[in-house]
Amino acid sequence: HGNPKLRNWLASREAHNGPCPDGVSLARREGPFLWTAAHTKPLQSLDGEVLETEIRLKGGGLLSRTVKPLSNEPNGWLVTDSFEPRLGQAGEFTVRWQFAPGCEAERIDERVFRVTSGTSAIRVDIGAGWVLAELWGPSGDETAGQLDGIVSPRFMKTEHAPHLKLTAKPGGNTEFTTRFTVA
């Protein structure tokens, strides 16, 4: 992409699925395909169908994600995210679930969402720890410079697409889970 702001947004941590703490950089971008100051190699564990990933941050912090199949649903997954700026101390972070262009996303209850594409649908249930759930979908009136919600489904092509942004804050419930099931 010739637009540096767009290129930087598409490469940013904020534009991708996964835990994203404020003020924590996992790498620094030095050019279109050049990164420096990358985080340490993630620690990954695959135990049967359960995947656990941890990234130890400079300064002693920890980002982690666990993905496991739901035991009572044949087509479902539970994703658990966390961020500790210092080991043992919960920190504020966001998770963006970016959906594909052309999907329709809707809130069907306080902590329940449905995402449909054609004849397929998934149900998204969020855990009690999330203090804010912001669902955004394109209206068709987006301005040319609006980067939030923009994706690149293929080389040199961009579109706006729905996303669900979840916010976790320290204190209280720490059930930062997202449950995906085929609806």
Q: What's the confidence (pLDDT) of residue 29?
A: 65
d(CA 85, CA 158): 34
Over range 30-34, report the average pLDDT.
Answer: 65
> Is the distance from CB of 150 to CB of 10 less than 8 angstroms?
yes
Give the CATH number for residue 43.
2.70.98.70
Is a pLDDT exceeding 60 seen at residue 1? Answer: no
100 is written with which tokens?
């594909």
Q: What is the pLDDT of residues 106-139, one digit of tens each?
A: 999 999 999 999 999 999 999 999 999 999 999 8
List Cβ neighbours of 32 (8 Å cut-off, separation of 6 or more).
7
Query: Number of structural domains, the chain?
Result: 1
Can you spell out the DSSP letters for 110-125?
A: TTEEEEEETTEEEEEE
Q: What's the confidence (pLDDT) of residue 38?
A: 65
* CA-angle at 82, arms to 79 and 87, nearest 5°: 145
- DSSP symbol at 170: S
Q: What's the confidence (pLDDT) of residue 67?
A: 96
- DSSP symbol at 132: E
* CA-angle at 19, arms to 16 and 20, nearest 5°: 75
Residue 28 pLDDT grade (very low, low, confident, very high; cuts 50, 70, 90): low
Q: Which residue segment(s) compose the domain that 38 sits in?
A: 4-182
